[in-house]
Amino acid sequence: MSEIRLENLNKNFDKLPVIQNVSLTVKEKEFCVFVGPSGCGKSTLLRLIAGLEEATSGEIYIGNKNVTQTEPYHRKLSMVFQNYALYPHMNVRQNIEFALKTAKIPSETIDAKIKKVSKTLGLEQYLNRKPAALSGGQRQRVAIARAIV
């Protein structure tokens, strides 16, 4: 993952400021955690970085590229949502491979990625199960697997 840099980032909902003048650098291979009470802006900040919300002002850089006005798909970021956002009609394998197939990644590459991530996250035995047949922790691992690939 490339460096992520926020410069004087602001987000208002109507006239209510939610994110105020945030500047932050997360260097490549660093790990960053946002902690705070419900409603303090953690999810909004992540949505801004991913491009799912538009900043009121400020700039977002991924690597050395200003992506503030870049569409989410072109930022090449993944998120795991609180509700996991799994497709209930698809099994675990199909959920993990969905974005890869949409991006027209070759089948052999998809199979290799799924094999590696399912082994890493302990999902091998669940690949043919639907999300409803999984525990909350297993669903979370499926969402993480989808973000990783």
pLDDT in tens, the chain (149 residues): 689 999 999 999 999 999 999 999 999 988 888 888 888 999 899 999 999 999 999 999 999 999 999 998 888 887 776 777 899 999 999 999 998 898 899 999 999 999 999 999 999 999 999 999 999 999 999 999 998 88
Which residues, 6 or more positions from 10, have their beta carbon under 8 angstroms from its beta carbon? 17, 19, 20, 21, 22, 55, 56, 57, 58
- For 15, which DSSP code? T
Closest Cα to residue 17, out of 9, 27, 28?
9
Do 116 and 143 lie in a common domain?
Answer: yes
CA distances, 61 to each of 2, 4, 65, 95, 137 (Å)? 9, 6, 5, 29, 32
> Which domain does 103 fall in, by range?
92-148
Do 101 and 132 lie in a common domain?
Answer: yes
Structure confidence at residue 31 (pLDDT): 82
Structure confidence at residue 32 (pLDDT): 87
| Position 80 in a domain | no
Contact 99, 149 (CB under 8 A): yes
Structure confidence at residue 17 (pLDDT): 94
| Position 65 in a domain | yes
| Position 82 in a domain | no
Do 28 and 68 lie in a common domain?
Answer: yes
Q: How many domains does the chain have?
A: 2
Do 10 and 67 lie in a common domain?
Answer: yes
Q: How far apart are CA 28 and CA 62, in angstroms?
A: 10
Among the three residues 74, 102, 136, which one is the final residue of a domain in this structure?
Answer: 74
Do 21 and 57 lie in a common domain?
Answer: yes
Q: How far apart are CA 60 and CA 68, in angstroms?
A: 5
Do 60 and 101 lie in a common domain?
Answer: no
Do 22 and 62 lie in a common domain?
Answer: yes
| Position 86 in a domain | no
Contact 4, 55 (CB under 8 A): no
| Position 110 in a domain | yes
Do 107 and 138 lie in a common domain?
Answer: yes
Do 98 and 42 lie in a common domain?
Answer: no
